[in-house]
Amino acid sequence: MLKWWFQEDFKDTREFNFHDGQQAGILNVIYAHEVLGMATLKGLYSAVAPEVMIGSDQAVQMIGAAKNDYPKYCLKMATGTGKTWVLQALMVWQALNANRAPDNPRYTKNFLIVAPGLIVYDRLRDAFEGKRDFATSDFSRYQDLFIPPSYRDEVFRFVQGAVCPKEDIGRKVTAGGVIALSNWQALKEEGEEEGARLADGIDRYIRARLFGQPLDPFADENWRVLLVDPVTEHIMRVWARQLLEAEETATTADAEVTHRHLSEVPKLTLRESASLPVEKCIYPRLPYPSRSGGLERAFIETADRDGSVDAFCKLNEQKHGFTRLRYVKEDGLPAFYCPDFLVRCGDGIYLVETKAQGQINTPNVKRKKRAAVAWCDRINTLTPEQRGHAEWHYVLLGEQVFYDWRDKRASIRDMLEYAKLRPVDERVQAQFAF
């Protein structure tokens, strides 16, 4: 990318190029992030401006604050000098690297861009989406500058599928990443409103329900009991569950059905030594964990040669982001979960999680199970056309069941039908989950 952007041989062939200020901004960020490998703001100052850390105790305290414990860069550019182009170039650099190194936490395809006002917000929408269509966006109009020819289709697919304007944030499902656009005032108002409602709800819960009787936190120093770890953890668990349930209820109420395809991810990055060639998948090879991946490898081998399987895929949590499900962990905090496989057998689609026998009944596996069964249950309430004319099922497939049925020459479909979980079972189990 750097050669394409800044090497004279390439610059001479096009009409538009980055000016010196834009080039400096792009190079400084990439150098700090990739070459220096900065993880915190304090680390960056220590590496490039140590005199600031030496000269002021106040600066040391501010720079070393917990809110700065992540890579953080600031580019100072005057109005009209092309900040948006710098932003877009850095996003292309991040997204392309994230595709090639999906397990590297230093690269991402998830972006939140906050404009200082509505004028700049509208300009950002034009830059990413175009005034009329994508052909009028900056990415398309200045593609000779931003993107080498071999990467254009990849970047165009990502940007067109990932852009999310402020009114759709939290509602729109995007493919393999998101470019969320908002203006500061909208973000601030929403955060303040949600924060006030949350604080009021927790206060009322503590005063009326926490101990099964009324409690005034300010009487007789009752507030001290709220600092005891088990009490704090209990409040967190209760409210995390309530927030997640409220979000799911609200989303269900006005959600829109969006069809997603595995083919939105054109290829998977994998090692040949930890993957298998397959015929019943859109990808020519499917990966399995290099360590303790024997069960997943065996499932891939068996499914690919099984006559009852029409198609299947090993899901990639980073690239197939639209298959991630929300659940509540044992500690009460919300989290995401991506099952192992998606399998189609005739008129049935199975979301399959393979598990070592000793992990089947662990608390977090049970919680993931409830979330996945509920997700399939919601899909099955849609019309046949909306759900691919198939019934969706969740399967928690333990290694003992898999190997027993495989060794008896049972088909994958019979195996999955036997092991699938039913919503009615989950509703009964839910009484005992917490």
* 3-state class (DSSP) for residue 58: helix
Band of pLDDT at residue 203, cut at 50, 70 and 90: confident
Q: Looking at this protein, which amino acid is placed at residue 385?
A: E
SS3 per-residue string spanning 322-366: HHCEEEECCCCCEEEECCCEEEEECCEEEEEEEECHHHCCCHHHH
- pLDDT value at residue 434: 35
Q: How far apart are CA 379 and CA 373, in angstroms?
A: 10
Backbone angles phi, psi at 67, to 5 degrees: -65, -10
Instruction: Please identify, among 120, 145, 161, the residue that sits at the C-terminal boundary of a domain.
Output: 161
* Claim to verify: residue 142 and residue 282 sit in the same structural domain: no
Alpha carbon 386 to chain centroid, angstroms: 24
Band of pLDDT at residue 326, cut at 50, 70 and 90: confident
What are the Cα distances from residue 131, in Å, to 127, 134, 230, 314, 321? 8, 8, 54, 39, 28
Q: Is 340 inside any structural domain?
A: yes
* Claim to verify: residue 36 and residue 145 sit in the same structural domain: yes
- pLDDT value at residue 19: 95
* Claim to verify: residue 425 and residue 298 sit in the same structural domain: yes
Write the pLDDT tens digit of every residue in 283-325. Answer: 999 999 877 789 999 999 999 999 999 999 999 877 888 888 8
pLDDT of 271 > 70? The answer is yes
Domain that holds residue 25: 2-110+129-161
- pLDDT value at residue 344: 97
* Of 172, 150, 163, 60, the residue nearest 121 (C-alpha): 163
The length of the chain is 434
- What is the DSSP code string of 103-151? T-TT--SEEEEEESSHHHHHHHHHHHH-SSSGGGSHHHHTHHHHS-GGG
What is the average per-residue pLDDT within 8-17? Answer: 93
Q: Is 148 inside any structural domain?
A: yes
> Which two tokens mark 418?
């036997």
Q: Is 196 inside any structural domain?
A: no
Give CA angle at 290 (178, 309), nearest 5°. 75
Using an 8 Å Cβ cutoff, are 300 and 290 in contact?
no
* Claim to verify: residue 149 and residue 268 sit in the same structural domain: no
Instruction: Please identify, among 161, 179, 202, the residue that sits at the C-terminal boundary of a domain.
Output: 161
Q: Is 36 inside any structural domain?
A: yes
Name the pairing type of β-strands 325-328 and 334-337: antiparallel
- pLDDT value at residue 331: 64
pLDDT of 429 > 60? The answer is no
Q: Is 205 inside any structural domain?
A: no
Band of pLDDT at residue 82, cut at 50, 70 and 90: very high
Name residue, tokens 């044992």: 330
* Of 155, 79, 66, 64, the residue nearest 115 (C-alpha): 79
* 3-state class (DSSP) for residue 258: coil
* Claim to verify: residue 157 and residue 284 sit in the same structural domain: no
- pLDDT value at residue 412: 97
- What is the DSSP code string of 62-89? HHTSGGG-S--------TTS-HHHHHHH
* Claim to verify: residue 144 and residue 271 sit in the same structural domain: no
Q: Is 245 inside any structural domain?
A: no
Q: Is 371 inside any structural domain?
A: yes
Poorest-confidence range of 2-16, 85-99, 113-127? Answer: 113-127
pLDDT of 256 > 90? The answer is no
Poorest-confidence range of 16-20, 113-117, 335-339, 343-347? Answer: 335-339
Q: What is the mean pLDDT of the chain?
A: 86
Band of pLDDT at residue 191, cut at 50, 70 and 90: low
* Claim to verify: residue 275 and residue 399 sit in the same structural domain: yes
- DSSP bridge pairs for 355: 398
Q: Is 172 inside any structural domain?
A: no
Give CA angle at 73 (72, 78), nearest 5°. 145
Poorest-confidence range of 79-93, 171-185, 214-228, 389-403? Answer: 171-185
Band of pLDDT at residue 250, cut at 50, 70 and 90: very low
Number of domains comprising the chain:
2
- pLDDT value at residue 26: 96
* pTM confidence score: 0.48
Q: How far apart are CA 113 and CA 125, in angstroms?
A: 11
Instruction: Please identify, among 161, 179, 204, the residue that sits at the C-terminal boundary of a domain.
Output: 161
* Claim to verify: residue 150 and residue 281 sit in the same structural domain: no
pLDDT of 424 > 70? The answer is no
> Which two tokens mark 172?
């729109």
